[in-house]
Amino acid sequence: MNRVLVVNSGSSSLKYAVVDADSGDTIADGIVERIGEEDGGVPDHAAALQAAFDELDDDMTGLVAVGHRVVHGGPDLYEPTLVDDAVVARIDELSPLAPLHNPPALLGIEVARRALPDLPHIAVFDTAFFHDLPPAAATYAIDRDLAAKWGIRRYGFHGTSHQYVSEQAAEFLGAPLDSLRQIVLHLGNGASASVIVGGRPVETSMGLTPMEGLVMGTRSGDLDPGIYAYLWRTAKMSVDDIESMLNRRSGMLGLGGHIDFRVVHRQIASGDAAAQLAYDVYIHRLRKYIGAYLAVLGTADVITFTAGVGENDAAVRRDALSGMTALGVELDEQLNADPRREARRISTDDSATTVLVIPTDEELAIARACVSLLTNRS
């Protein structure tokens, strides 16, 4: 039995799961929220981890490793990596590339290493899958010397999910992964799209940081970079304030006041014009990406929706793909409306491109990456 504790440590929350990497079963999982908040929350990440341990109790027995989700691995950290002091120092150095994500991940790693010193701790990077993006997709059209000096390229994120879901899609279709031309739409609070050909990533919507691309719960996605300079120079906002606004108070929240699509639909039904515009902007951006990615591919064998919105919101899926019959994409309204929480096809039999809904499981993918590292080492 290969049980792995998977830790996903954010700035104010710590998600955890004990996963059996062999069977794929989640033995137990949970989330400790409001870390560092004055009333009711736990004081710090060490206390959050302790709360997780208390909750897990007997489920902690028989662990073979602790897997840590780390958002940014920079140019050289991308394989699942056994954490030692040097790796911790390197992730710390990379913090400017992911200032909102890497510091809390490091806190999680440090408290978990102290609490479970006898287990191997393994960092699994969100950027890993996209490390080999073709140069034409990874390169920003800016001064090449500057880009090289500062490691500026499109890194891509949610890689664990894009890889897992594309493999699941092949399995569902009973087709070899290396024969498939895929588009994966990971639509959760964070959102990203990717093109995967023969199991290898060819394009993705997130960039140097997890801010580029689709409209997200609280992140803007694509922007004219001129907005940064304008807000700094004319609105006199600091760089930190601009970054925080674009990360935490933009996207669906900034436009309509809510990040949860269930609430957004209720607001729209009650005639809320801001919620309607937020939804329209979200869908418009998503359609632009789908169109661009169909053009990158020529023909797509499969488009897969995943994550909280992608798995659950039939209206988003319908509006993202409506009117694309001429492009070879046709949803079956009835299949699309089916709320089952399992891998399923939602396109018509005639649709040249198969459209799927596949639940993502980043924790299982991280657990499997850990076990495969340990197996290859021994």
Active site residue ranges: 126
> Should residue 312 be labelled a site residue for ligand AMP when binding is judged by CB under 6 A?
yes
> Should residue 260 be labelled a site residue for ligand AMP when binding is judged by CB under 6 A?
yes
Of these, 112, 214, 216, 307, which contacts ligand AMP (CB under 6 A)?
A: 307
Report the alpha-carbon distance of residue 316 to residue 355 in Å, rounded. Answer: 14
> Should residue 284 be labelled a site residue for ligand AMP when binding is judged by CB under 6 A?
no
Give the DSSP H/E element, type plus range, for residue 110: helix 102-115
Report the alpha-carbon distance of residue 351 to residue 360 in Å, rounded. Answer: 24
Site for ligand AMP (CB under 6 A): how many residues? 12
> Should residue 283 be labelled a site residue for ligand AMP when binding is judged by CB under 6 A?
no
Report the alpha-carbon distance of residue 199 to residue 167 in Å, rounded. Answer: 7
- Asked if 127 and 97 touch (Cβ cutoff 8 Å), the reply is no
Residue 41 labelled as part of a binding site: no
Q: Which two tokens stand for residue 346?
A: 């939602």
Place of tokens 């140019």: 75
> Should residue 189 be labelled a site residue for ligand AMP when binding is judged by CB under 6 A?
yes
DSSP state at residue 356: E
Q: Which is nearer to ligand AMP, 262 or 288 (CB)?
A: 262
> Should residue 309 be labelled a site residue for ligand AMP when binding is judged by CB under 6 A?
yes
> Should residue 256 be labelled a site residue for ligand AMP when binding is judged by CB under 6 A?
no
Shortest distance (Å) from residue 308 CB to ligand AMP: 2
The helix-helix angle for 261-269 and 273-297 (nearest 10°) equals 120
Q: Which is nearer to ligand AMP, 301 or 363 (CB)?
A: 363
Residue 187 labelled as part of a binding site: yes
Report the alpha-carbon distance of residue 330 to residue 351 in Å, rounded. Answer: 5
Options 163-171, 257-265, 348-356, 361-369: segment touching ligand AMP (CB under 6 A): 257-265
Report the alpha-carbon distance of residue 82 to residue 79 in Å, rounded. Answer: 9
- Rule CB under 6 A: which residues touch ligand AMP? 188-189, 217, 259-262, 307-309, 312-313
Q: List, as residue ranges, the binding site.
A: 8, 15, 69, 186-190, 260-262, 308-312, 362
